[in-house]
Structures are given as structure tokens and as C-alpha cells.
Amino acid sequence: MLMGTAVIPLLTGCVSHPLALAAVGPDPNSQAASTAKGNLEVFTATQKSVRVDNDDNLPSDLPTGYDIYDASGNSVRYVANHGSNMDEWPDRVSLPAGEYKIVAESTWCGLVTVPLAIQNGKTTTVHLDDNWFPSSSMAQQLVFLPNGEAVGWSTPLAAQ
């Protein structure tokens, strides 16, 4: 009985769909390359049922696709998030510097909306696949899902 009571808050922490998070930006300690655009990588929930016929006949866990919107809410593009039926690494998307939002699938919290800051020469990385474990000493610089999963580096946006 006590065990069931302890689990309920963990399960209800992610019920709102789509869940809106705080803004994510590039690693504050990263050095900017001299390029006129920034990059975005989103580690989304994976499609566990996808099976491919490759040489080893192993299943592939493909990252799910997501949508990118500009600061005004206009659709920028859809990202399939894998190049082939064996590509388990998320796509890297080049974008002009600015503020965006993505709507993507999280492993534990379902559909989430994540505001983003894209900076020239830097990569903004969003972790929605429950596989990123930054040091707990950096907690004040991170964005979290309600279940405590770290999503990315916190960043202020001009208008949220």
C-alpha cells in the first residue's frame, strides 16, 4: 500500500500534454565556432518496435521525429531525426541564431514543448531519452522534467 502511494506522484508529474518546459540553450562552457548558424540535436524517445534486416539482424531503436517552431509559433520544419532504418543517432540541424520551440516525444513524460536558444557557432542539445546524467553540482544550470530527468542547459530567453 505504501509503495503504491509513493509511486503516484512520480507518475502524475508528467500528465499535462504537451508539457511545457523552461528554455534550453547551449552548454555555457562550450566555445563558439566561427559559423553563421547554430546547431540543434534532440535525443528523443525511441521507436522500440522498429526492426530492420541488417547483417546482424538486430533491432534498431530509432529516435522519434519532432517539430521546430519559430518564436512566433510558425512551423520551421519537421525533423525525422534519423537518416535511415539503422541510424540510432539523432539528426544535427543547422539553424540561424534565435529563439525556437520544439515539440518532441520524451521517454517518460510523453509529448513536451521545449523553448530553445540557438547561438551562432554553438550546439544546443536537448535530452528527452533518459540517457543524460550531468553532475549534480550543475543542477542550478539545468532544465528538468517533472520526474527529475535532466533535459539540457538552462538559458534565459528575451520573451517566453
pLDDT digits (tens, 9 = 90+) for 17-60: 678 899 999 999 888 888 889 999 999 988 754 455 555 556 66
Q: CA distances (Å), 75 to each of 64, 79, 104, in order?
A: 18, 11, 14
pLDDT digits (tens, 9 = 90+) for 77-92: 999 987 555 556 788 9
Q: What pLDDT does 24 receive?
A: 96
pLDDT digits (tens, 9 = 90+) for 113-127: 999 999 999 999 999
Q: What pLDDT does 57 receive?
A: 57
Q: What pLDDT does 39 receive?
A: 96
Threshold 0.85, pTM exceeds: no
- Is pLDDT at 100 greater than 50 in this prediction? yes
In the chain, at which residue ranges do the beta strands (DSSP E only) sit? 19-20, 24-25, 38-43, 46-47, 62-63, 66-70, 75-79, 92-95, 98-106, 110-118, 123-127, 142-144, 150-154
